[in-house]
Structure 1
Amino acid sequence: MQHWVIIGGGAIGCLWAASLQQQHIAASLVVRNNDALTRYRTAGGISLQRSTTTFQCQPTAYTAVQYDHPIDRLIIATKAQHTAQALASVASRLTDDCIILSLQNGMGQQQHILDHYPNARLYCGVSTDGAYLQSPFHVVHAGAGTTRIGRYPENAHDTPETSALIAELPTDVLTICADQHIERQLWQKLAINCLINPLTALYRCHNGELINHPQARPRLEQLAEELDRIIAAEGLAELVPAALSTALNVAKITAANRSSMFADVLAGRDTEINFITGYLCQRAAQHNIKVPCNQKVLDDIRLLKPNA
């Protein structure tokens, strides 16, 4: 029987660990440090709240140092900026052909995985599930969405393999499907994150407030214009000019939400800016396209947190 190791005890890591357990699929959770492990034990494991029901489970939890079994199925559910450290902490336990499933925001960390773990089989998941931690290891599945999974980089010949992988996942409790065009999905999500997350952090506002914000809305439109040029240069012209309208629609639907970047800034944590706007600016440089508005946003967010 396959055994999944989930690294990252945030909302997505807890959602997937609990969902695997709920479907009786073997899973272990790797948390950041001994303090996190203590909090896990104090909480009595993971509580997964869906609507009016709560599922309690106790997948075995470890720190990376403690986990000493071979890993051939790994889910990365950390923040993008913690990918390298998280993988390095379990690298000696990864089997040669380990399957790595990245369930993360941002782009750029995928190439790090390919460069440092060339024998691994990398898959990416892009999800519209809404989940947040009400308290440590108490995850609320607030909105049931779909997780699209595909091999990275894209390879149409891997479709049967992707389908076989999905058969190992908790499809009874989460909606999961294969996607041959996962890079397109990653870019669509990156575009939304580029337009919403940094501006909510800079203007200290909820998502919906961006729509009519006197300072943020003009900047959002300028960011979208630059973003469209990069997306077209990436060969994804069919996504242009949908970025602005999509972001505004997401801001409306999630009006009361606080973006993850805004939450990180408020909590004094490092943000994912280098893997969101930072990645966009890197791609712009590769295409020799100037993106002064996005570069300014990148610089402004970095100023909020010197080590971001």
Structure 2
Amino acid sequence: MPASKVAIVGAGAIGLAIGSAFARAGSEIVICGGRTPVDSVTIVEDGTPQTWPARHIDDPSELGDVDVMVIAVKAYATDAMAEWLRAGAAAGATILVGQNGVEQVDRVRPHVGGADAIPAIVYLNVERTAPGVATMRRVGEHDIALPATGSGKTLGRLLDEGGMRMNVAEDFAEVLWTKMMINCAGNSLTALTRRRAPVLLDPAIADLARQITREVAAVARAEGADLSPEQADAVIAWLQAAAPANNTSSMREDVMAGRPIEHDALTGAIVRIAARHGIDVPINTAMLALLGALHPEEA
């Protein structure tokens, strides 16, 4: 689908990054809603900006035919986008859910019914700097991971054409839960300390991060993902290797800006799923309480 129409719901950092790849592959980009009209997508990488045209619409009734709908709002804002999701599903779009956590598809399913919904794992470090503008940094081996099921392979080829380093994974559960370890440790600790990634080089913080990921790995194993304690420790080593680049996290940026945070979709999900399996996760339980106390008006 080289000339497909792609709707972006949530033109923040991740939405802009994913939208830029579709645009680079020749897709028409439609930005859905938002406080500020956006008529272009600009990505700055290695100091060089590149811009693609986009069309902005304010009402789901304006959507028309669409091939792919990217949902890139924060997890807690999903229900607020119900009208857009219903419009995308009614148009026959594949719903690409670019959200953190392990419950992405379950989160949108009440609004899209039986539509093809594909979870996307995004590794890119992206900061939105102005409406329609974001700075993108690539970390690790891949930029985006998709499951090798449903429309995953087709979307993977298109995003690859758009310059993303893709991992279309047969064992998507392991990839999904590995990213969950990254988020539960990296996002939570940078948010609570209000420091960027180098905070993970502190020995005491690194030890706490390893305890977080080991608990997440135990929950992942209960859910059928083959993740060992050694893999949990390797996640922290990976985060530490990337720390000198002074990367931030989306949760830290939200705390610094006084916005709500996604702690329920990340650490909250770990605590909920652990309870279903009778697994004790004391560190993540404590982290959830601390993150829940970060009210936007007090951040």
Q: Which TM-score bucket, shorter chain as reference?
A: 0.7 to 0.9
Matching residue of 1:55: 50
2:189 is equivalent to residue 199 of structure 1:
yes
Mark the CA change 1:266 to 1:84 in structure 2 (over 3 Å): closer, same or farther: same
Matching residue of 1:112: 107
TM-score w.r.t. length of structure 2: 0.87
Shift of 1:46: 2.2
Task: Give the AA of the match of 2:145.
Answer: R
Q: Which sections of structure 1, spanning at least 5 residues, go unmatched?
A: none
Matching residue of 1:98: 93
1:244-302 CA distances to partner (integer Å, 9 max, x unpaired)? Answer: 23123213313412222111111111101000000111110110112121111101111
Matching residue of 1:261: 251
Shift of 1:72: 4.2
Mark the CA change 1:163 to 1:92 in structure 2 (over 3 Å): closer, same or farther: closer
Shift of 1:241: 2.8
TM-score w.r.t. length of structure 1: 0.84
2:153 is equivalent to residue 150 of structure 1:
no
Q: Which sections of structure 2, spanning at least 5 residues, go unmatched?
A: none
Matching residue of 1:130: 125
Mark the CA change 1:296 to 1:248 in structure 2 (over 3 Å): closer, same or farther: same
Shift of 1:303: 0.9
Task: Give the AA of the match of 2:181.
Answer: A
Mark the CA change 1:96 to 1:180 in structure 2 (over 3 Å): closer, same or farther: farther
Shift of 1:93: 4.8
Matches of 2:16 and 2:296 in 1, distance apart? 29
Matching residue of 2:225: 236
Q: State whether residues 25 and 170 of structure 1, in contact with CA within 8 Å, keep that contact through their aligned partners in structure 2.
A: no
Mark the CA change 1:190 to 1:229 in structure 2 (over 3 Å): closer, same or farther: same
Aligned pairs (5 A) from 1:4-83: 4-33=6-35, 36-37=36-37, 40=38, 45-51=40-46, 53-65=48-60, 67-83=62-78
2:83 is equivalent to residue 88 of structure 1:
yes
Shift of 1:52: 5.0
Task: Give the AA of the match of 2:93.
Answer: C
Shift of 1:50: 2.9
Matching residue of 1:221: 210
Matches of 2:294 and 2:34 in 1, distance apart? 24
Matching residue of 1:187: 177
SS of alignment partner, residue 27 of structure 2: coil
Matches of 2:243 and 2:104 in 1, distance apart? 26
Mark the CA change 1:128 to 1:305 in structure 2 (over 3 Å): closer, same or farther: same
Shift of 1:24: 2.0
Q: State whether residues 210 and 236 of structure 2, in contact with CA within 8 Å, keep that contact through their aligned partners in structure 1.
A: no
Shift of 1:195: 1.2
Shift of 1:98: 3.1
Matching residue of 1:303: 293
Q: State whether residues 71 and 94 of structure 1, in contact with CA within 8 Å, keep that contact through their aligned partners in structure 2.
A: no
Task: Give the AA of the match of 2:24.
Answer: Q
1:3-48 CA distances to partner (integer Å, 9 max, x unpaired)? Answer: 1111111122112223322332122111323xx11xx35xxx2222
Task: Give the AA of the match of 2:122.
Answer: S
2:161 is equivalent to residue 163 of structure 1:
no
Shift of 1:228: 2.9
Shift of 1:108: 2.2
SS of alignment partner, residue 120 of structure 1: coil
Shift of 1:121: 0.6
Matches of 2:118 and 2:130 in 1, distance apart? 29
CA RMSD of aligned residues (A): 2.6
2:291 is equivalent to residue 294 of structure 1:
no
Shift of 1:53: 3.5
How many residue pairs align between the two structures? 293
Matches of 2:67 and 2:29 in 1, distance apart? 12
**Mean Cα displacement is larger for which, 202-211 or 261-270?**
202-211
Task: Give the AA of the match of 1:4.
Answer: V
Q: State whether residues 146 and 176 of structure 1, in contact with CA within 8 Å, keep that contact through their aligned partners in structure 2.
A: yes
Matches of 1:25 and 1:92 in 2, distance apart? 19
2:276 is equivalent to residue 276 of structure 1:
no
Shift of 1:175: 2.4
